[in-house]
Amino acid sequence: MPQSYRKDLVWKMRYDIRDQYPQALAKLLIITKWNKHEDVAQMISLLQTWPELPVLNALELLDFSFPDRYVGSFAINSLKKLTDHELFQYLLQLVQVLKYESYLDCELTKFLLDRALSNRKIGHFLFWHLRSEMHVPAVALRFGLILEAYCRGSTHHMKVLMKQGEALNKMKALNDFVKSSSQKAPKPQTKEMMHVCMKQETYLEALSHLQSPLNPNIILAEVCVDQCTFMDSKMKPLWIVFNNEETGGGGVGIIFKNGDDLRQDMLTLQMIQLMDILWKQEGLDLRMTPYGCLSTGDKTGLIEVVMHSDTIANIQLNKSNMAATAAFNKDALLNWLKSKNPGDALEQAIEEFTLSCAGYCVATYVLGIGDRHSDNIMIRETGQLFHIDFGHFLGNFKTKFGINRERVPFILTYDFVHVIQQGKTNNNEKFERFRGYCEKAYMILRRHGLLFLHLFALMKAAGLPELSCSKDIQYLKDSLALGKTDEEALKHFRLKFNEALRESWKTKVNWLAHNVSKDNRQ
């Protein structure tokens, strides 16, 4: 049957589709002849009587493949039933979709402003998602007008947000100072000068009594200058500690980064948070740590510090002073957990480790997160493992020869298996439980495969280097095995899992090389 004949057949059945398969609206729109006035008129008239769609299908209609404004209005109408919690979950994508709108005054803008003005948390993040791209000439007018409309609608919130902006300006100035100073002076000296600078009245005032841009529910009462420092990586990110009014004075840490684009990290963490929500809906709590990350301007942003945690690399180095042998010290991790969880607490810590390890194994596999080594995997004193630094995803890997796209295997590390088995060599029962968690987590994500595909497709508007074409999205279809039956998919996943187990000693050698090269750099 020729393609054109099939299209005509679908078009002839348009009323049946509306009455019996309304979810297939996107398929019908794709074959509509938008250059034929009569067909367009018919389609627009048909939309007037089309039943409201589920959110999932409405999200698909926001893509740039459907530029008609009547289609846009119809999609927004179907999104009005989103709860604030759900809307917050997809806000990042909806802001990106504004870039496809032909008019400044459109349904999506009105919808977002309406919801932002009636919910402070949505208003807060709408503000920062727009503000962070004001340096992009193509969107500055549109985003600027929406920001103005929001601030006029809520002058009180505008003052609160301006206070956050002032704090970020001070952090930027401080970061510039640290960058130039550390080229000339050793770290302790630069750090001391940084503290002197922060103790000036203007800094102390700007950096106290503000809402955290990462989470407006947290009030950063006062900056603890003596605990502040900067990190050794290239951009010299600032590590700033505040007293928090809520937690009875417990410290809150924030990393300020200038020089790196945080949007990809932000998207990855949003997806991990979504996975966590989907798992919990099915009664599976994998003890994930989706910490906060927010882009606030051109290559500028904040990252939440997860307190009481350390990198795997540090834990392994502390156990043996020789960097070279560190990665082979399989007991280092378990001993560290024992020291933080004495007596009966150890069993719970190992369970937290096992659950979180399963969650992150599945998440990094599905999202194709590459470049994993002992410096960007961390562990909390409770036993929860988590990943940081998502510079590459969807199978875009760093190699010695530039970027290489390959299927990210499922990564299982020998050390992690050792902890999961409670330090016993063949504690099969514990290991099989871990395998069960991984399989269950993977199958839950598969059931929501389309949601991930639609959200990533909408993010293409963001212009991230590693998410620009259909090939990038194809990665997700493959990792979630979306063309396969459940049975085939599980079989495929088990294959990957067993392969990872066989390969785990290779990861070890890789980390060893990483530790050695790091040691030579210091």
24 and 127 together in one domain: yes
Q: What is the pLDDT of residues 172-205, one digit of tens each?
A: 999 999 999 999 999 999 999 999 999 999 999 9
Mean pLDDT of 479-499: 95
114 and 185 together in one domain: no
83 and 37 together in one domain: yes
276 and 319 together in one domain: no
CATH number at 322 reads 1.10.1070.11
User: What pLDDT does residue 403 have?
Assistant: 55
Closest CA to 43 of 76, 66, 77, 20: 66
What confidence tier does 397 reach under pLDDT thresholds 50, 70, 90? Answer: confident
150 and 204 together in one domain: no
142 and 89 together in one domain: yes
Q: Which of 154, 180, 207 is the last residue of a domain?
A: 154
Checking if the pLDDT of 321 tops 80, the result is no
Residue that is written with structure tokens 């059931």 in the block: 447
Which DSSP string do the residues of 198-253 spell out, in sequence order? HTSHHHHHHTSSEEETTEEEEEEEEE-GGG-EE-SSTT--EEEEEEETTTTT-EEE
Residue that is written with structure tokens 């980390």 in the block: 511
User: What pLDDT does residue 259 have?
Assistant: 96
Other beta carbons less than 10 A from residue 413's beta carbon:
24
Predicted model pTM: 0.93
Checking if the pLDDT of 286 tops 90, the result is yes
Mean pLDDT of 440-461: 97
343 and 487 together in one domain: yes
CATH number at 169 reads 3.30.1010.10
Domain count, the chain: 3
Q: What is the pLDDT of residues 332-355, one digit of tens each?
A: 899 999 999 999 999 999 999 999
Q: Which of 258, 274, 303 is the last residue of a domain?
A: 303
Q: Which of 303, 335, 361 is the last residue of a domain?
A: 303
165 and 231 together in one domain: yes
Residue numbers of the domain that contains 477? 308-520
In angstroms, the CA 380 to CA 398 distance is 27
277 and 340 together in one domain: no
Checking if the pLDDT of 522 tops 70, the result is no
Mean pLDDT over all residues of the chain?
92
Residue that is written with structure tokens 């039933």 in the block: 81
Checking if the pLDDT of 170 tops 60, the result is yes
CB 314 within 8 A of CB 326: no
91 and 121 together in one domain: yes
SS3 (DSSP) at 297: strand
Through-space distance between the first and last CA atoms of the chain, rounded to whole angstroms:
66
CATH number at 94 reads 1.25.40.70
What confidence tier does 391 reach under pLDDT thresholds 50, 70, 90? Answer: confident
What confidence tier does 287 reach under pLDDT thresholds 50, 70, 90? Answer: very high
85 and 184 together in one domain: no
Burial level of 349, CB count in 10 A (0-12/13-18/19+)?
A: buried
342 and 469 together in one domain: yes
